[in-house]
Amino acid sequence: MTYEVVGGSLPAVVISMNAGEEVKCESGSMSWMDRGIKMETSGGGLGKMFGRMVTGESLMLNTYKAETAGRIAFASSFPGSIKAYEIKPGQGIMAQKGAFLASYGDVEMSVGFQKKIGGGFFGGEGFLMQKFEGNGIVFLEIDGYAVEYDLASGQQMVIDTGYVAMMDSTVTLDVEMVKGVKNVLFGGEGLFNTIVTGPGKITIQTMPISKTAMLIYRYIPHGN
């Protein structure tokens, strides 16, 4: 299996598979493919279906298997980036809800609970995230441009809510209230900031879809 991300800020990942290889995606994600690649839809059990639903994905998963060598493409649903993350045994990652695009190999997606309860309810990333474990490659949608950092043990970064797209499972997430009444009322940053603590890699997105939706909403006429 090889892959290439094309399309710039309107990206798609084109995966080339040999006969017998397969990729998985949420239902409706396939954009185009060669003949000779066959689809099979499955739920994987009620527990897995429920986990996908609460983390913003479809109930069913599609498996595309190459009967002959061919290509299959998955396009992003929002302007931004597509990033490939290698998953190894014991080295999982956590991602924002709805980020999953496709996976190759033995990758399991489940519900990832924030280690810090406060981070779940107020951090903007949500109490429930997507957790990926196993052995393979997972392709994630990133809103806007993806900026990556490797945090040392104990190293912290302050991030506005909604900007954390991915983090290693070794990274913890918590929140911190913005200090100062004037800062809260007039600073425009809300009540809380997200605090991530290493060790591990994090990916920050430059254009969270939630922020973009709020901006567009301001310009929509609202009649009585």
| pLDDT given at position 79 | 92
| pLDDT given at position 120 | 47
Three-state SS across the chain? CEEEEECCCCCEEEEEECCCCEEEEECCCEEEECCCEEEEEECCCHHHHHHHHHCCCCCCEEEEEECCCEEEEEECCCCEEEEEEEEECCECEEECCCCEEEEEEEEEEEEEECCCHHHHHHCCCCCEEEEEEEEEEEEEEEECCEEEEEECCCCEEEECCCCEEEEECCCEEEEEECCCHHHHHHCCCCCEEEEEECCEEEEEECCCHHHHHHHHHHCCCCCC
| pLDDT given at position 17 | 98
Would you write out the chain's pLDDT as a tens digit for each of its 224 residues? Answer: 999 999 999 999 999 999 999 999 987 889 999 999 999 987 655 555 545 455 555 667 899 999 999 999 999 988 999 999 999 999 999 998 889 999 999 999 887 765 554 544 444 445 578 899 999 999 999 999 999 999 999 999 999 888 999 999 999 988 777 665 444 444 445 567 788 999 999 999 999 887 787 778 788 887 65
Domains of the chain: 2-217 (3.60.160.10)
Distance CA 3, CA 175 (A): 37
Instruction: For the full predicted model, state whether its pTM sits above 0.85.
Output: no
